[in-house]
Amino acid sequence: MNAYLGVDIGSISTKGVIIDDSNHILASSYIWTQGNPMKAVKTLMHNLEKQIDKKKIHIIGVGTTGSARKLIGTMLNANVIKNEITAHAVGTLSLYPNVKTIFEIGGQDSKIILIEDGIVVDYAMNTLCAAGTGAFLSSQASRLGVDVEDFGKIALTSKNPTKIAARCTVFAESDLVHKVQMGYQKEDIIAGLCKSVVSNYLNNVGKGKKIKAPIIFQGGVSKNIGVKKAFEEEVGCEVIVDENGHLMGALGVALLAKKSPIKTNFQFSIADDNFETKGIECHKCSNHCEIICVSRNKQLIDAWGNRCSNGDLMNR
């Protein structure tokens, strides 16, 4: 059986799926990146390998997306390397062909994708501030002494959500501490945080966008039922959360790898190889380019960052 691997490498989490020719997910894994995308992908490969029969499945396509997509694409010999907007749109459309709007909130970034007739017509991403992302919510959960996984359930018990200023991470934390000291109930503060996440998202990422149903909410924060409810109250319609919503970028890039005419010969043993990266500065011209070198078992396999042929390490 031919199969296709998709890997989504984010700053907080790393996701992977293996699909077959019918687009069924044969294996999936979701782990923390922990500041080391190469190590995280090695762990991911071992997790996926355990879920399949390697004697029956031959992976002929590999796609990568996310913030470390080029680095991991080089490591896995990917035949497709795509940005997150395209990957999330393709993955979502494969399951919800009528989708018009995609809300996505991940560990440190968030995005909105608008679709018409199966084509991305507009999108936006958060800029400098991480207020309202998964990392922000995890930080506030720790401050309140609760597990972030319980945030949604606790928020739904609130009868009077506390207003939290969440347009800025620093201001939000300061306001939260002030509300705690004032004596507000914990469930009201948590519900207020969920509402402020939605308000921040719609006023910044979704500003000026025409949001239409059907709406799909994805990313790690989509698992927070408190944020989902707050979105539905704000937009006035159902917001759909798929059980595999956290894997949609990986699914999308696996589908793109499947469609690509270029195929790759992937082996899980690649996870046992020794990969290293090194940054060097080229002094052969006034550009002083910072070049990233990637080696496998001490052998250079790729390099990028040069702006002229002086720094082209691969064609010497």
Domains annotated for the chain, with CATH where assigned, are 2-90+250-272 (3.30.420.40), 97-241 (3.30.420.40), 275-311 (no CATH)
What separation, in Å, do the N-terminal and C-terminal C-alpha atoms of the chain show?
39
Which tens digits make up the pLDDT trace of 225-268? 999 999 999 999 999 999 998 899 999 999 999 999 999 988 88
| Structure tokens belonging to residue 219 | 């990313």
48-65 pLDDT, tens per residue? 999 999 889 999 999 999
Cα separation, 85 vs 109, whole angstroms: 12
Question: Which one is predicted more confidently, 43 or 12?
Answer: 43
CB contact at 8 A, 218 and 248: yes
CA proximity to 91, closest of 256, 205, 258, 213? 256
What predicted TM-score, i.e. pTM, was given to this entire model? 0.85
Distance CA 277, CA 250 (A): 24
Q: What angle do CA 303, 304, 306 make, to 5 degrees?
A: 120
How far is residue 29's CA from residue 244's CA, in Å, rounded to a whole number?
11
